[in-house]
Amino acid sequence: MLPPQSVPSERAPGVPEPEELWEAEMERLRCSGAPVRGLPYAMMDKRLIWQLREPAGVQTLRWQRWQRRRQTVERRLREAAQRLARGLGLWEAALYEIGALQCPGSRQSQPGVLRFHNQLWHVLTGRAFTNTYLFYGAYQVGPESSLVYSIRLAYLLSPLACLLLCFCGTLRRMVKGLPQKTLLGQGYQAPLSAKVFSSWDFCIRVQEAAIIKKHELSNEFKVELEEGRRFQLMQQQTRAQRACHLLSYLRVNILIGLLVVGAISAIFWATKYSQDNKEESLFLLLQYLPPGVIALVNFLGPLLFTFLVQLENYPPNTEVNLTLMWCVVLKLASLGMFSFSLGQTILCIGRDKTSCESYGYNACDYQCWENSVGEELYKLSIFNFLLTVAFAFLVTLPRRLLVDRLSGRFWAWLEREEFLVPKNVLDIVAGQTVTWMGLFYCPLLPLLNSVFLFLTFYIKKYTLLKNSRASSRPFRASSSTFFFQLVLLLGLLLAAVPLGYVVSSIHSSWDCGLFTNYSAPWQVVPELVALGLPPIGQRALHYLGSHAFSFPLLIMLSLVLTVCISQTQANARAIHRLRKQLVWQVQEKWHLVEDLSRLLPEPGPRDSPGPKSPASQASRPRSFCPGFPCPGSPGPRAPPPVPSVVDAAGLRSTCPGLHGTPASARRFRFPSVAEL
């Protein structure tokens, strides 16, 4: 309703100008008492009318505006609560029908409740935030210029930089947690005596912490002893037994592999069916069909894996490792198939591209396909959190109450839920993988996932301390840290590969987002380089991105890798030499101790200083452990010729550390070879 521009033309006398008509209309609207909300004008014109109706000289303060907005929000929330209370009222519809205020079968009393339910459903599916900065489509900007800061470049490089930093951090923690057994060799065995005498934390002062520490040490000893027993059994197996063991191992893995293939096939068809029927109002629950199938597969899969492994009577450690490996495969394969099915439906990947020829994507069904992908990942993250809350308070808590308060064989067999650390860690890894997958399509998904992780920690803590029991199967936390970091790295790669393909090769949506006029989001980088860098910098970046630079880069990486491998091998050889040298030094010290035990007499109260006879020296025992050799001491050795007279001064000069030392203090003990 802006004032029209005056156009010079012939006008009849007495006809007012357009500016005069506009001023008269504004004056009429200012003096009118009609609500501004009901006027048939644009929002910008309504703001102008509202400003004109303000009293002259009155300046609206910010806190007054904020107060009006707060009152509006409170009023709307109060109305929504009243509609919900009316909809949930007991026998309200029947009473209306009895009182003839509503015709039977009509739905006039329920529009508010249905509207509230629709709003709640839109919040759960993400459609309520389609036009907000939660999703890709809400970010808009004009053409690029030679300015220093570019929103398009920042939006493009932010997820890539985040993935790179996460990759470096995960790789650093993975290398830091690399098992020492890999560096020391496969034959290295840590002595149990070191763990027995040096594992306790003497800073513990609380009884509960002491109990937890004792359980931790007991678990480590069980794992060590179980691995030693399994190693001995494997050494004692015959070829026929090893062949039978290998066949049973292959049979179990083939069966579990078929189950995994069936699970990911179900996820594929569930995602495809949900996307094909997403606009039907009678199938709103189909919006959550793919997350539901993924959750069901990840819940039933480990149970079936454990059942199949237990049928073969594997050792506990082998059972845990095999089940954990297939659980990782199932979780990563589920997310990978979910991503592929979305790509096939939206981007026509792996199918007929007739519907994607015009725009590069299925523009008929997905006008803003980035928002559609972001909504699917948003729903998956929301569903995982809601499932965690529901399972904690609707399954684990009632199970604990029933087991504690009821008696019987069934309840004794059921027991409390077993808290499995690997399962909970894999759930966190899967949630983090979903967050990485949605960095480009749903930029604020990491913030949402951070809130979910914060709440999940306390929910899991309550479940562990109140509703669960300790796991009966041994679990080595120290060596599993490397494994979980490796799984996290695989999840990062699973998220980075599709994102790299989309950024470099897939056409962006024509109707929304920052890259509407680009064939691919990465095309903004050459454009900004051409606008902001001098020709020398452009040529340098062009060379860095060309194939000519790849060959020197590969050569340099090969040299670095060769140096690292050579250094690792040299370190391994040095460790082997040092171990041999340490064993040799211990053996030499034991021989020295034996020689000293033969040469030095046992002093007594009646002994007088001076040289002793050979008979008195021969009567002294040749070992500090009478009746048996000391642990780690070398075998029997031919005694050297004993001199007839021992020169005490010469002995002190040969062994200066023994001068002035009593015999009881000279009975020291060196560590044995087995302990080293």
Give the E-state strand segments of 285-374 in sequence order.
none
pLDDT band for position 664 (cuts 50, 70, 90): very low
313 to each of 272, 316, 321, 476, how far by Cα in Å?
A: 40, 9, 14, 20
Q: What is the pLDDT of residues 426-464, one digit of tens each?
A: 999 999 999 999 999 999 999 999 999 999 999 999 998
Q: In this predicted structure, what is the pLDDT of residue 458?
A: 94
Question: Other C-beta atoms within 10 Å of 578: how many?
Answer: 10
Q: Is the pLDDT of residue 15 over 70?
A: no
Using left for φ > 0, alpha for ψ between -120 and 50, and beta otherwise, residue 185 falls in left
Length of the chain as a residue count: 676
Mean local confidence (pLDDT), 295-311: 88
Question: In the predicted model, is pLDDT for residue 349 greater than 80?
Answer: no
Worst-scoring range by mean pLDDT, 266-280, 406-420, 473-487?
473-487
Which helix (H) or strand (E) segment holds residue 158: the answer is helix 151-176
Nearest to 320 by CA among 306, 332, 330, 331: 306
pLDDT classification of 190: cutoffs 50, 70, 90: low
262 burial via Cβ count (<10 Å: 0-12, 13-18, 19+): exposed
- Out of 44-58, 237-251, 467-481, 524-538, the most confident range is 237-251
Q: By three-state DSSP, how is residue 317 classified? A: helix
Under a CB-based contact definition with an 8 Å cutoff, are residues 463 and 419 in contact?
A: yes
DSSP 502-522: HHHHSPPPSSSSS-TTSSSGG
The 3 state secondary structure assigned to 387-409 is HHHHHHHHHHHHHHHHHHHCCCH
pLDDT at 260 over 90: yes
% residues pLDDT > 90 (the chain): 23
Say yes or no to pLDDT of 329 above 90: yes
**Quick one: average pLDDT of 640-649?**
42
For the chain, the average pLDDT equals 76
The answer to whether residues 32 and 49 touch, using CB atoms and an 8 Å cutoff, is no
Report pLDDT for 265: 92
Q: What is the pLDDT of residue 180?
A: 56
**Residues 41-66, buried b or exposed e (16+ Cβ, 10 A)?**
eeeebbebbeeeeeeeeeeeeeeeee
Q: Are 23 and 38 in contact (CB under 8 A)?
A: no
Q: Name the pTM for this structure.
A: 0.68
Q: Would you say 399 and 416 are in contact if contact means Cβ atoms under 8 Å apart?
A: yes
Closest CA to 382 of 312, 314, 455: 455
pLDDT digits (tens, 9 = 90+) for 124-133: 888 888 888 9
The pLDDT of residue 72 is above 90: no
Residue showing tokens 């929103």: 151
Q: How many other C-beta atoms can be found within 10 angstroms of the C-beta atom of residue 475?
A: 18
**C-beta neighbour count of 173 within 10 angstroms:** 16
Q: How many Å separate Cα 33 from the centre of its chain?
A: 59
Residue 4 or 596, more confident: 596
